[in-house]
């Protein structure tokens, strides 16, 4: 009886290890840049539905006037083409997050992208190159 129990446990553990080894890993791709007054992060992660990618942009003020609210206008550029743009008010934590979906994105195509953030506030403009983080 003990041998049957040991064999059953061994088979169960073997199947469990096989399932874990074969499950797809959720690869996250991150681009990050730091300028004089702002830093930004862009992360792509696979959607739970399996098609396309979720993208999350973070813009954070790191300049010398952190207590003042900032009305910003931003453009995220992908390979010299406007990808996402908008306006936000940055206050409190000095950070804003924008989330979206890229339904036609693949991990392979994103890894070769070149990203840049162009941000405007209080009659100032800053361009931040955002290389891929490895």
d(C-alpha 108, C-alpha 53), whole Å: 12
State the residue for tokens 């007054």: 37
Phi, then psi, of 53 in degrees rounded to 5: -135, 150
Residue 100 has a CB neighbour count (10 Å cut-off) of 13
b/e 53-86 (16+ beta carbons within 10 angstroms → b): bbbebebbbeeeeeeeebebebebbbeeeebbee
Of the listed ranges 1-5, 35-39, 57-61, the least confidently predicted one is: 1-5
Query: In degrees rounded to 5, what are phi and psi of residue 59?
Result: -120, 125
For residue 42, the model assigns a pLDDT of 95
- 52-107: per-residue pLDDT in tens? 889 999 999 999 888 889 999 999 998 867 778 899 999 888 999 999 888 877 77
Distance CA 110, CA 104 (A): 10
- Local confidence band at 24 (pLDDT 50, 70, 90 cut-offs): very low
């Amino acid at each position: 009886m003990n041998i049957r129990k040991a064999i059953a446990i061994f088979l169960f553990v073997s199947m469990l290890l096989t399932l874990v080894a074969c499950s797809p890993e959720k690869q996250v791709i991150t681009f990050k840049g730091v300028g004089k007054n702002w830093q930004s992060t862009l992360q792509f992660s696979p959607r739970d539905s399996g098609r396309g990618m979720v993208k999350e942009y973070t813009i954070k003020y790191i300049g010398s006037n952190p207590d003042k609210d900032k009305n910003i206008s931003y453009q995220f550029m992908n390979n010299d083409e406007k990808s996402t743009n908008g306006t936000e008010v940055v206050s409190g934590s000095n950070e804003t997050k924008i989330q979206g979906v890229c339904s036609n994105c693949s991990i392979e195509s994103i890894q070769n992208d070149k990203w840049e953030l162009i941000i405007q506030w209080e009659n100032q403009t800053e361009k931040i190159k955002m290389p891929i983080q490895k």
